[in-house]
Structure 1
Amino acid sequence: MSRMPVLFVGHGSPMNALAKNAFTDSLTELGKRLPKPQAVLCVSAHWETQGTQVLYNAEPPTIHDFYGFPKPLFDVQYPARGPLSLAHETQRLVPGSTLNEKWGLDHGTWSVLVHMYPHADIPVYQLSIDVSKTPQQHLEVGKLLKPLRDQGVLIVGSGNIVHNLRLINWREQNAAYDWAVEFDKDIKQALEKRDPNALTHYEDQFGEAARKSVPTPEHFYPLLYTYGASDENDKLSYPYEGFEMGSLSMRNVLWS
């Protein structure tokens, strides 16, 4: 079995689950051109826990973890089955992690996969973000996941490099603040240089642009997991680049 790629997706608004636009078209195209995975492991910005947890559920429910959106979004179901043996293997790879039978697939996962694999015919599970870990520790967990790539697992990080909901520009869908563009470019360069220090010490490295772009870290951390699961032999590309509403970077990153 050939080694699977690693993917980071800037997922943006939950409404992208229902949308047809350049961003969602790029996800549809990725699902067609990437090697078919045995399973998808998603590190979603929307599952934060004390301690690292691995979803262990043969029939994970679709979690609608948001409010104030139209009913059709709450009607979306993504009935992928859960790969229990791979969940056990993932727990083994990450010392101190535990299995969680109660969580499901949150919108950081299904809003992306509904475009990549619309038939929900690929098994899916999640890895949580341990809120007690440092950025460097998140990156190190990503490294521990790397053997899964050789078992047919597509590792997906779902968040946003720039994610500031308080400063959203509701008037212009495709707007981008200067500081958001600056930080997104800085992180792109850090990825290309394979500079883990810049990625894990982004505020020290990039100052005010970083503080505005990452007011809370949960949407940035999935990038660290995917970077950790990649290596210097991977080809780096960007299946999609762009911004939504000023303060959301929609950049996708692929290591293949």
Structure 2
Amino acid sequence: MEGFIMKIRIKKVTALLLSCMLLFSISGCQKKRTAKEVLESSLKQSSKLKDADFSGEASYKIANSEASSSSNVTIKMNFDTKLQTVDKDQLKMSMTSTLNMLGQTMDMNMYYSDGYYYMNTNGTKQKMKMDIAGIQKQLQSTTGQTSLPAKYYKDLKLSEKDGNTILKYSINNDGLNQYVKDVTSQMTTVTGGSNSIKVSSLTGTKTLNDKDLPVKESIQMVMESGDNETGSITLKMNLTYHNPGKSVTVTLPDDLNTYQEISN
């Protein structure tokens, strides 16, 4: 009897060892993803998001350089943004920001609801009609974010830190041209709405969680005039995404009906 029990125990131990060996063999044979695969997965996962809650800080360094003189102006901005998709054709947004320029501070609260973009700038309340595509471009220009497809990314590098995936990248020339079309024409605060802006470089770093969703992102972009004028604008942006993938509720102020309508 004891010999029979011993055989059963040996069989169980052997089965357990074989299972462990098989598990480690499968794990060891799993293909490690390339940087391009991680990028494509991240862009795909981000495109599925309906809501977003993120904050950030940005600095715009404007450098003018001529033969006789040179000058630098730095604009700094902090912002906190919430986006809620009500349904396929309705979006709510709440964004608070503070702009510091030339020793002056400007507090701005921006909202979007029912096809209107609302702005409260130091107590001056205005609104204008804007479709969802328009508000998306406005957000891109304010936050420096890009929704460029994977084909425009280059110099991809992967690393790991604190359980997250770190993806560094830069944007190729075709992507820079597309970025100008998508975003810079909306940057009225910094560029005056000029369409003659040339983006000479755009680099960034994405910190991704285990679902390939960004939890942090840093961006650096250099813009120059397309009219052979001297000078450049360097944008540096740091973004933090709060609970990516989770639902967000946007609370709007009660006095939106008091905002004065203006034309685009």
TM-score of the pair, normalised by structure 1: 0.29
Query: Larger RCO: Structure 1 or Structure 2 (Cα < 8 Å, ≥ 6 residues apart)?
Result: 1
TM-score by length of 2: 0.28
